[in-house]
Amino acid sequence: MGTIVKVVPLQLGKNADGSVKTLDDILDEMSDPTTITADNVESFFYKLKEAYLNNNKKNVLRMVEAAYHGFTYEAAILNYHIKYGIYADVEQSTGRGFLDLYILLRKDQHGNYVPNAVKIIIEFKEEQRKGSNSIMSVQDAVKQIEEKAYAFQFAGRTQSQVVIIVGADFGATGETVRAKESKIDLPKQSFISKLIDARQATLDHTTIKQELKTIYDSTRSDESLDRVILGELLSSNVVEKNVFIIKDFPNGQRVSMFVFKNQYQKAVILTCIEQENLASPKYVRVFLRIHRNQQ
């Protein structure tokens, strides 16, 4: 027979009445989609940091990103996998990179399955100092999750479109955890569909910029913008459409021109210039011109 090991809840010292303080109270709130907030998720990670430091009196745990990552994963899985049905994923490919850790509490405190559990995505950083200036921070971690669109495409085994993103550094001084709530609003129309349906007055620069950001967030790093637009145009109900591609452009650039008329009989000329030798279309330059017919 194998050896049975009893795993006790992660200990964080004593309460005023002498009882052992655990993370359960915070996790009870986090397991309910109506009570989970960025604040209680932030509190959870601050408590994890406290536990990390309390269990590192003899400096057996290194103050590095990989150690924070492993400690958080094991603390969640070993202590709370059964009670809260915790699902955790590490180094998952999504968006424009690989997220550090994803946690989902699939059961509430009463053991009921939660189909719309809120996603929690964590990016760890370790503080590195060059002279007296910190060159890494939890703000950088949160910014990385947002800019690399980790949450946008990640289904994460839940029906919820709400995500809480967390930046954490257990070894830093000052702010060591930052959590932020976000909602993923998936577009109801493609970029080309909006161009087809839009009047000139409503197609402003802000709208165009947001639509291009949505394309960036919803595609992978090996996909090019002009190919995405081409696919949208070909699948549209526009009868007359023309595409011109110039490949032999200076500095390895590729120029694509899309010409068509929208439903208001306005000519649309969309010109896209991309670097062919870049892995990520983050650096795409896009020029959009919409011309009115004089008829």
Q: Give dist(CA 154, CA 264) in Å, integer.
A: 37
Q: Residue 3 above 80 pLDDT? A: no
pLDDT-derived band of residue 287, with 50, 70 and 90 as boundaries?
A: very low
Interhelix angle for 225-234 vs 205-218, to 10°?
A: 100
Q: Give dist(CA 180, CA 120) in Å, integer.
A: 10
Do residues 261 and 268 make contact, with C-beta atoms less than 8 angstroms apart? yes
Q: pLDDT of 85-132, one tens digit each?
A: 999 999 888 878 889 999 999 999 999 999 999 999 999 998 765 544
DSSP single-letter state for residue 73: H
Q: CB count, 10 Å around CB of 242?
A: 10
Q: What percent of the chain has pLDDT over 90?
A: 29
Identify the pLDDT of residue 294.
42
Give the domain ranges of the chain.
24-183, 191-291
Q: pLDDT of 32-56, one tens digit each?
A: 999 999 999 999 999 999 888 887 7
Q: Give dist(CA 79, CA 16) in Å, integer.
A: 23
Classify residue 68 by burial, with Cβ atoms within 10 Å: 0-12, 13-18, 19+: buried
Lowest mean pLDDT among 206-215, 264-273, 286-295: 286-295
Identify the pLDDT of residue 129.
55
- List the alpha helices (DSSP H) in 115-258: 138-147, 191-197, 205-218, 225-234
Q: Give dist(CA 172, CA 127) in Å, integer.
A: 6
Identify the pLDDT of residue 6.
56
Q: pTM value? A: 0.74
Name which of 42, 48, 41 is nearest 71 in CA terms.
48
Name which of 174, 94, 176 is nearest 141 in CA terms.
176
Do residues 254 and 226 make contact, with C-beta atoms less than 8 angstroms apart? yes
Tell me what the mean pLDDT of segment 207-218 comes to: 81
**Backbone torsions φ then ψ of 18, nearest 5 degrees:** 90, -5
Q: Residue 8 above 60 pLDDT? A: no
